[in-house]
Amino acid sequence: MRRFRRDWAHRRDSGRYQRRREYFDEPETSYSSSRGRPTREEVVTPPLPEQAASGSLMATSVDFKTHVDQACRAAEEFVNIYYETMDKRRRALTRLYLEKATLIWNGNVVTGLEALANFFEMLPSSEFQVNMLDCQPVHEQATQAQTTVLVVTSGIVKFDGNKQHYFNQNFLLTAQSTPNNTVWKIASDCFRFQDWAST
């Protein structure tokens, strides 16, 4: 069979998304104690460690790995909660957004919590299946020292009364740090069906 995909893909991913950590070889560690699957309306992670001064190249590369690690952990946690909330507790979904967050949903712009609440209320009930997740920390240079993570997901969604679609979604998450924890919220959200042009 001709491998028309050539070497585009590092490996073929299937089923539930896998964490993107092949950049460096580190054993999987669990940062949180086992706490089952709580019903949560916020995405909270342990406090972020102090960012080391990025002087030497070595310090920069250590920071990068740490940031990627933190980014991926927060992203996974976030994605789990987001889609579960979207599917099962839709009315709580706006708690995951910043007050001035913007969503572009298949080209429709929705800004601010009130508009988001109305929008999500109108959206039919959903069943999401996330197949892929990518995340990146956003370098300080781009965000003036506010910890920011970019997350890209793709998968399949079925809205009640509609046919199934492949979808892609991008989130920009920002961390609001307190001494005890870090709360992640969505600053920007962009959702599109992969095949929207043909529906």
Q: Should residue 199 be labelled a site residue for another protein when binding is judged by CB under 8 A? A: no
Return the residue of 44, 48, 150, 183 that touches another protein, per CB under 8 A. Answer: 150
Asked if residue 115 lies in contact with residue 122, where contact means CB atoms within 8 angstroms, the answer is: no
Asked if residue 74 lies in contact with residue 184, where contact means CB atoms within 8 angstroms, the answer is: yes
Q: Which residues fall within 8 angstroms of residue 178, CB to CB, at 6 or more apart?
A: 47
Q: Should residue 115 be labelled a site residue for another protein when binding is judged by CB under 8 A? A: no
Nearest 5°: CA angle at 114, between 135 and 195? 45
- Interatomic CA distance for residues 190 and 172, integer angstroms: 9
Q: Should residue 113 be labelled a site residue for another protein when binding is judged by CB under 8 A? A: no
Residue 7 or 160 having the CB closest to another protein: 7
Return the residue of 79, 102, 116, 128 that touches another protein, per CB under 8 A. Answer: 102
| Three-class DSSP category at 93 | helix
Distances in Å between the Cα of 5 and the Cα atoms of 8, 9, 10, 18, 54 are: 6, 7, 10, 20, 39
Return the residue of 141, 163, 181, 184 that touches another protein, per CB under 8 A. Answer: 141
Size, binding site for another protein by CB under 8 A: 47
- Interatomic CA distance for residues 147 and 46, integer angstroms: 14
Which residues ranging from 20 to 79 are in contact with another protein (CB under 8 A)?
20, 22-23, 64, 68
Q: Should residue 99 be labelled a site residue for another protein when binding is judged by CB under 8 A? A: no
Distances in Å between the Cα of 125 and the Cα atoms of 82, 84, 130, 155 are: 14, 12, 16, 17
The amino acid at 22 = E
**CA count, 13 A, side-chain hemisphere, 124:** 10
Q: Should residue 147 be labelled a site residue for another protein when binding is judged by CB under 8 A? A: no
Residue 9 or 122 having the CB closest to another protein: 9
Which residues ranging from 160 to 179 are in contact with another protein (CB under 8 A)?
166, 168, 170, 172
Residue 121 beta carbon to another protein: minimum distance, rounded to whole angstroms: 22
- Residues engaged in binding another protein (CB under 8 A): 4-13, 18, 20, 22-23, 64, 68, 102, 104, 107, 131-132, 134-139, 141-144, 146, 150, 152, 154, 166, 168, 170, 172, 187-188, 190, 192, 194-197
